[in-house]
Amino acid sequence: MALRSKVFTYGAELTWQGGHTAVVASGDRPPLPVAPPPDFPGGEDDRWSPEHIFLAALESCTMLSFLAHCEHNDLEVREYSARATGSIERRDDDQRYAFTHVKVVVHARMAPGQAAAAGDLTEKAERDCFITASTNADIENDWRILE
């Protein structure tokens, strides 16, 4: 008998504010003002763009996956930060603009004697990130794990 997989369902609501701006909300979470990035018409520097939200989602999903694997293996993460940079360009197959490559540089500091074991979990963390699995972009993670 085949195992039935879990289904995770999420929702968000968007309200247009005029021009090229909107607010995104979900439940009781703080609203998130959105607009195009400044290099597009109507773009604003002080609002999140869909492109920046995508990169933040990828970074945070990879972090949460890594933290879960460390926790399951009794490893103590003392510090964690990441910086993502993504490139959008026309795809060869359909000429649509899309993220084609994202590089994420991760800095993690582990408890003494745990850096090597944490390094062994990075592949699982990348594999289990739902956001990475949801894109066709080439995701390059550069893990820098110290003690």
Return the SS3 of 62. Answer: helix
Phi-psi region of 99 (alpha: psi -120 to 50; beta: other; left: phi over 0): beta
Sorted by where each begins, the domain ranges of the chain are 11-48, 50-146
Q: What local confidence, expressed as pLDDT, does residue 4 receive?
A: 80
Q: What is the DSSP letter of 79?
A: E
CA pair distance 145, 147, nearest whole angstrom: 7
Q: What local confidence, expressed as pLDDT, does residue 3 receive?
A: 76
Q: What per-residue string of b and e applies to 115-140 under the rule 16 or more CB within 10 Å gives b?
A: beebeebbeebbebbebbeebebebe
Q: What local confidence, expressed as pLDDT, does residue 5 receive?
A: 86
Q: What local confidence, expressed as pLDDT, does residue 12 receive?
A: 97
Tell which CATH architecture fits domain 50-146: 2-Layer Sandwich (3.30)
pLDDT digits (tens, 9 = 90+) for 117-143: 999 999 999 999 999 999 999 999 999
